[in-house]
Chain A
Amino acid sequence: MLPLAALVAGCGTIVSSTETPSRPDTITRANLLGPYEGRVIEAGSDKPLAKALVVGSFGYSRGVGLRAPAGASVVETETDADGRYRVEAPATLPTGPSVRLDRFTLIVYARGFVAYRSDRDIDGDQVRFRRDFTQSGNVVRLLKMTPALSHAGHLEFLGVWGGPPRLSRALAWEFERAAPPGAAPPEAP
């Protein structure tokens, strides 16, 4: 019983280490709990983008060794007139002896622009691992959508097929315009 009691007693949330730098000018690692702040600008002109939708997700897992997904704390906000955003640490964290904050993911979406994800980037039709995300002083340069990138390709890059609610609503128009990945029903094999 003693080990079990010890397990129950140790209920503080574990915060994983992260490869993300705390700022662009340092190799010091970020605090996964945040806060996260940065600025969204239009690529090329460097003009700030106001009212861009910003989604921050703190993702959890649970279990010592045996890790199962344990949900996420999701924040949806907008950039201010100067294009700035700030995502605070979750007010409350899930409890349990092995609950762990695994990751933080930032998504920025503005209609007419290629969306931003903190964990991956898209160049043409090539999607790759993003390495320039930082906790503070992060600069999000949004490129305007071009015909070279289809809505279907953009949605696949973004990879959000349900919630979060505001993002889901914001994406509805793009799903309506997305050319279907497949055209006609295939012939029966």
Chain B
Amino acid sequence: MTVALLSITASLVAYEAGTHARLTARAAVASRVDATLRAWGLREGLYQGLRVDVEHLDRRAAFRLRERLARVDPTWGGAADERGSQRALGWLVAGSVLEEAPASRGRHHFLDPRDGSGLVEPRPGIEWLLGAVAGADGEGSLAGALAGTNFTMVGEPADRWAISAENEWSVTTFHRELRSAVLDPDSTRRSAAMARALLALGSVAHVLQDMASPTHVRNDLVGGHLATPDSSTFDRSSRYERFVALAHAEIGPPTVPPPPATALRARFVALATATQRAFFSPGTLPSPVQLLPGTTAERAEAEANAGAPYPEPVVSGIDFRRESGYLAGAGVPHLASYRIDRTGRLRFDLDERCWADQARVLLPWAGAHSTGLLDHLARPGPRVSILSDGTAYVDAASLSPRAGHVVVFWEDEKGIRRELERHAVGAPAQPVAVPTEAVRLGAMLDGLDERGEPVVAARVIDL
């Protein structure tokens, strides 16, 4: 039983952690995040050093954070030093790596855009086994392993997971930490909060990037991640994931423009829809078709399409003059391979040429959508102007907020910040007297944007 189950368990993670790290780093550099960080008061932008001082955390939180950060390979670019410090871009990259730690978080990285569902492949035997391995590996409790609750193959849809209260590193976390990073009086705590905000932002980027993986948008965990063992029974992984890590180790900059500005969850749905329509995953290929004497290619294609779990991509272009070949897809010559076996069955498969075509299309999509996501979530705040009489004027109208409030604050030469004034969105802006000790002045919008989505946006200026 165990051997049988092991033979059909494979990697849940669509892209390996190093792939996510590089996708996120490339997206961050291509985005406006550097300029936005400067607007938030980080003078060195993406290169700003940020430290999480674990001495300020309670013992449990400090242990958990250290344990998580120790999982990052420094050559991926997101490893804090022994003092808990690294550059802003490193924290962002670390977040994109750690979204899949522990690996059971990956069950929330699925989305079927047709009905908005997440992973729904309950298999008690496999779930028990995966939970047992996780327990033995220290990734879950022994009690959970015995009870079979360490892991389930049902998850929240990815777009909901990104904003879920159950998700420790969600958009909600990003906003909460960003508020602290802007308003906390203490500069050390602000630095740590900014690091955590970027960790959360990187995590959300990871979830979005998984929408550019066919298995994750075609509810294809078990079938899609079937793999042959490599060096041992336990050494199994998704062929596509491994292919990308080995053959596409260098992720180029995003080569397609970011998608048009849209609501957060719509970004997930848009990328998932495009991926689902464009590519097969191993477990969602059309079923084999038994060819009978006189069966035409058109008839075989129609049968194949009728037996496919998803309406797209469509099987077409089979050449019966050859026993094997490739189906072409939109813009790719190797959508799937096909062959007619000795029993006259037409079978479909995916091989390295297909993986290469998928990677060539999907990685730039992932990069472009990540760039758009980072700019969507990380936004500069209201305009802050110093008038000729020395008073400050804050204008949030250009951000078109639907609701919320604006907080005006100042910072003294010791780096201590204090709130100066707050007013509701929509209230007439009034000039604010600036304390003479102020060396920096800032404003933060905290509310709902023009689409009604939560937004925290800040701007800090030097006086």
Name the residue of chain A whose CB is nearest to the CB of B6. Answer: A64
Is A114 part of the contact surface with B, judged by Cβ < 8 Å? Answer: no
Would you list which residues of chain B between 56 and 86 have a CB under 8 Å from chain A?
70-82, 85-86
Is B307 part of the contact surface with A, judged by Cβ < 8 Å? Answer: no
A62-B139, A69-B17, A69-B73 are contacts. A180–B45 as well, Cβ < 8 Å? yes
Name the residue of chain B whose CB is nearest to the CB of A97. Answer: B136
Contact-residue size bin, chain A (C-beta under 8 Å from the other chain): 35 or more
From A17, A156, A162, B86 is in contact (CB under 8 Å) with A162
Query: In the complex the two chains form, is B10's CB within 8 Å of A163's CB?
Result: no
Query: In the complex the two chains form, is A162's CB within 8 Å of B44's CB?
Result: no
Query: In the complex the two chains form, is A160's CB within 8 Å of B74's CB?
Result: yes
Query: In the complex the two chains form, is A65's CB within 8 Å of B252's CB?
Result: no
A64-B130, A160-B77 are contacts. A185–B380 as well, Cβ < 8 Å? yes
Chain A residues within an 8 Å CB radius of B2: 3, 6
For the complex, give the distance between the alpha carbons of A14 and B88 in Å: 34
CB distance from A178 to the nearest CB of B (A): 7
Would you list which residues of chain A between 108 and 127 have a CB under 8 Å from chain B?
117, 119-120, 127
Chain A residues within an 8 Å CB radius of B35: 182-186
Query: In the complex the two chains form, is B6's CB within 8 Å of A182's CB?
Result: no
Q: Beyond the given A61-B17, A161-B90, A188-B459, please list 4 additional residue pairs across the A-B interface where CB-CB is below 8 A.
A: A96-B136, A159-B21, A186-B32, A188-B457
Is B102 part of the contact surface with A, judged by Cβ < 8 Å? Answer: yes
A69-B17, A181-B29 are contacts. A97–B34 as well, Cβ < 8 Å? no
Is B320 part of the contact surface with A, judged by Cβ < 8 Å? Answer: no
Question: What are 16 contact pairs spanning A and B, CB under 8 A?
Answer: A3-B129, A6-B2, A7-B132, A14-B235, A63-B103, A65-B225, A69-B100, A98-B234, A129-B250, A161-B93, A162-B94, A163-B74, A167-B74, A180-B38, A180-B45, A185-B35
Would you list which residues of chain A between 1 and 37 have a CB under 8 Å from chain B?
1, 3-4, 6-8, 10, 14-17, 19
Is B326 part of the contact surface with A, judged by Cβ < 8 Å? Answer: no
Query: In the complex the two chains form, is B11's CB within 8 Å of A66's CB?
Result: yes
Is A128 part of the contact surface with B, judged by Cβ < 8 Å? Answer: yes
From A19, A68, A96, A129, B102 is in contact (CB under 8 Å) with A68
Query: In the complex the two chains form, is B73's CB within 8 Å of A7's CB?
Result: no
The count of chain B contact residues (Cβ–Cβ below 8 Å) is 91
Chain B residues within an 8 Å CB radius of A182: 32, 34-35, 38, 45
For the complex, give the distance between the alpha carbons of A162 and B195 in Å: 12
Name the residue of chain B whose CB is nearest to the CB of A10. Answer: B234
Would you list which residues of chain B between 131 and 155 have a CB under 8 Å from chain A?
132-139, 145-146, 151
Is A57 part of the contact surface with B, judged by Cβ < 8 Å? Answer: yes
Name the residue of chain B whose CB is nearest to the CB of A76. Answer: B74
Name the residue of chain B whose CB is nearest to the CB of A65. Answer: B9
Chain A residues within an 8 Å CB radius of B134: 63, 66
Query: In the complex the two chains form, is B247's CB within 8 Å of A129's CB?
Result: yes
| Chain A to chain B: the 5 pairs with minimum beta-carbon distance, closest first | A162-B86, A161-B90, A182-B35, A185-B39, A66-B103
For the complex, give the distance between the alpha carbons of A120 and B120 in Å: 38
For the complex, give the distance between the alpha carbons of A156 and B35 in Å: 17
CB distance from B238 to the nearest CB of A (A): 9
CB distance from B426 to the nearest CB of A (A): 16
Query: In the complex the two chains form, is B45's CB within 8 Å of A168's CB?
Result: no
Is B313 part of the contact surface with A, judged by Cβ < 8 Å? Answer: no
Query: In the complex the two chains form, is A181's CB within 8 Å of B46's CB?
Result: yes
Name the residue of chain A whose CB is nearest to the CB of B445. Answer: A188
Query: In the complex the two chains form, is A163's CB within 8 Å of B236's CB?
Result: no
CB distance from B34 to the nearest CB of A (A): 4
For the complex, give the distance between the alpha carbons of A140 and B129 in Å: 45
Would you list which residues of chain A between 131 and 166 have a CB under 8 Å from chain B?
156, 159-165
Chain B residues within an 8 Å CB radius of A10: 234
Is B237 part of the contact surface with A, judged by Cβ < 8 Å? Answer: yes
Would you list which residues of chain B between 106 and 124 have a CB under 8 Å from chain A?
106
For the complex, give the distance between the alpha carbons of A181 and B236 in Å: 40
Name the residue of chain B whose CB is nearest to the CB of A129. Answer: B250
For the complex, give the distance between the alpha carbons of A69 and B105 in Å: 12
CB distance from B397 to the nearest CB of A (A): 9
From A8, A68, A99, A107, B103 is in contact (CB under 8 Å) with A68
Is A100 part of the contact surface with B, judged by Cβ < 8 Å? Answer: yes
Query: In the complex the two chains form, is B139's CB within 8 Å of A63's CB?
Result: yes
Name the residue of chain B whose CB is nearest to the CB of A11. Answer: B136
A129-B247, A185-B459 are contacts. A8–B237 as well, Cβ < 8 Å? no
